[in-house]
Amino acid sequence: MAAAPVTVLALGTRKVGAEVSFDVPAGTESVTIVEQMISAPATATFTDGGVLTNGAAPRTLTTASGAVILDQFAKPDYSVDVALDFSDQAPGTGVIVLPNSTGGLALVSAGLAVGTWRFIVSDLAYLCTLASNCAKNGGSKTSTYDVSVLLKPKAPAAGGKLDLTFNFTSSSSPRLSAASALGDPDMQRMLASLDTMMARGGLSLGTVRFVDVPAAMAARVASGVRLKDATVCGDLGQLFTTAPAGRQVNVFMVSSFIASDQPSGTSIVGIDGSVPGPATISPSLQSGVAVSTVALREGANHCGATLALNCDPSGPGCCGADVTAYVVAHEVGHFLGLFHVTEQYGTMFDSLADTPTCPCKSCTATPSTCDDWVPAPKTSHTMGFDECQASAACAGGDNLMFWIYGAGVVGDVTAEQQRVMHANPAVY
């Protein structure tokens, strides 16, 4: 069966503050708004919040029935009832996808309002100019963006396919290229494991392609991708601009990540451009996810008939190709709109009602170390597997979108997570 086409409305260059309208037809499953920077400051400065990355997103989004489902000056507190959860700010390209919350899924189930929808093109620097807490010259009203809207028609409720393109940057160990990947046993194991994990999310792998990143870019990031969030000129954004166009998710296989707070880059094995990513839009500064190849060839003696993901030293041992597949699946989950079910400090959660949560204060044995304890602790507790698999009220450690991997990892995906991914324009 041919994939139902996604309608792309190219709305041209628009200045911040401009109101843009578009028509939503009957039977629409998802609405995606993409703002790609043409000209904008890198940061916005607030008197109380300091210098922040200038992320792009509409100021308001109003449906055909007149309901305002996004208002950046009246943000809800990320409840599951919110129609649209907006909380990720990435430089250069802003993406919002409806639905990405339980409230949004309910809107889709009831049928998205048919007719003319409106939104105001905006970014953080523009919002700053409208706010009383904007620092002097902290914002800008002159930024311009290339604006697109993607409308995905409803498809059969069950299943869905996702095409992936693996982009190789590696000129060092482990050597991988578009030419060698097809015959590479570790890469093939990784793909088979990824297929198994995606199936838990109700998705199957469609076409898988292998391409090499242009040589100059590959050489530039041979020793690692520098993570630099306050500018569009960082390695990660520039790497993503090399992504091939098409209805797919681009996965960049890289050697390592580098952050100037030296240890933090060292422990990162995957990262996404933004949550969600600008599916089908390429090139852009967020057109993909990046995953380290570090584990791909490790633990080969543990790569048996079933997935081997338990990396705990006291466990049975883990297969590096399976671990790499898990990281790819996790980052693809972000790209398709999923947040961590419970963030590291156990104080923030996704906006889906059926994902298990693990609030720090009620799930840790030492609540006084929780980030939201009063008085605040000197340093904050991070949520682990054990405490987040302890009971129905302290759960989520086994979910694909838990913030860490390791002993006990399962990679579960809930029904609402499946629906959010299914609604993404990349899935057909």
Partner 1 sequence: MLTLPVLLVSFGVVAAPVYTPPRTRRPRPVEQPATAVTAATRDLATSAAALGDPSLSDAEVQARVRNYLSSIDVGASVADWRAVGVRALPLLQQVLDNREELSSRRAGAIAGVAAVGGARARTLVLQVAESEREPFFVRAAALRCAPLVLDAAELVRELVPVLESANEPATRAAAAEVLARHAPAAACGAVRSAVEREAAASPRAEERDDIRARFARSIEQCDAALAP
**Residues between 121 and 150 that touch partner 1 (CB under 8 A):** 124, 127-128, 130-134
Q: Measuring CA to CA, which residue among 396, 427, 424 is closest to residue 412?
A: 396
Using CB under 8 A as the binding rule, the residues of this chain from 10 to 39 that contact partner 1 are: none
Does residue 365 sit in helix, strand or coil? coil
The pairing of beta strand 60-62 with beta strand 68-71: antiparallel
Residue length of the chain: 428
Q: How far apart are the first and last CA of the chain?
A: 10
Site for partner 1 contains 87 (CB under 8 A): yes
Q: What is the DSSP letter of 320?
A: H
Among the candidate windows 33-41, 99-107, 202-210, 288-296, which touches partner 1 by CB under 8 A?
A: 288-296
Among the candidate windows 17-25, 35-43, 311-319, 353-361, which touches partner 1 by CB under 8 A?
A: 311-319
Please state the closest distance from residue 368 (CB atom) to partner 1, in A. Answer: 8
Site for partner 1 contains 65 (CB under 8 A): no
Site for partner 1 contains 189 (CB under 8 A): no
Single residue of 136, 158, 378, 392 touching partner 1 by CB under 8 A: 378
What sign has the CA pseudo-torsion 20, 25, 31, 36?
A: negative
Please state the closest distance from residue 307 (CB atom) to partner 1, in A. Answer: 15
Please state the closest distance from residue 395 (CB atom) to partner 1, in A. Answer: 17
Single residue of 267, 314, 374, 375 touching partner 1 by CB under 8 A: 267
Single residue of 155, 211, 222, 410 touching partner 1 by CB under 8 A: 222
Number of residues that bind partner 1 (CB under 8 A): 91
Token pair for residue 246?
A: 């098409």
Task: List all residues 6 or more positions away from 356 whose beta carbon is below 8 Å from its beta carbon.
Answer: 341, 388, 392, 395, 396, 399, 414
* Maximum separation of any 2 CA atoms in the chain, in Å: 62
Mark residues 323-342: x for contact with partner 1 by CB under 8 A, - for none: x---x--xx--x----xx--
The pairing of beta strand 93-98 with beta strand 50-53: unpaired
Single residue of 1, 110, 365, 392 touching partner 1 by CB under 8 A: 365
Site for partner 1 contains 404 (CB under 8 A): yes
Strand boundaries in 154-237, DSSP class E: 161-168, 204-212, 225-226
Site for partner 1 contains 172 (CB under 8 A): yes
Q: Say how far apart CA 334 and CA 275 lie, in whole Å.
A: 5
172 or 207: CB nearest partner 1: 172
Single residue of 238, 241, 256, 362 touching partner 1 by CB under 8 A: 256
Token pair for residue 258?
A: 């580098």
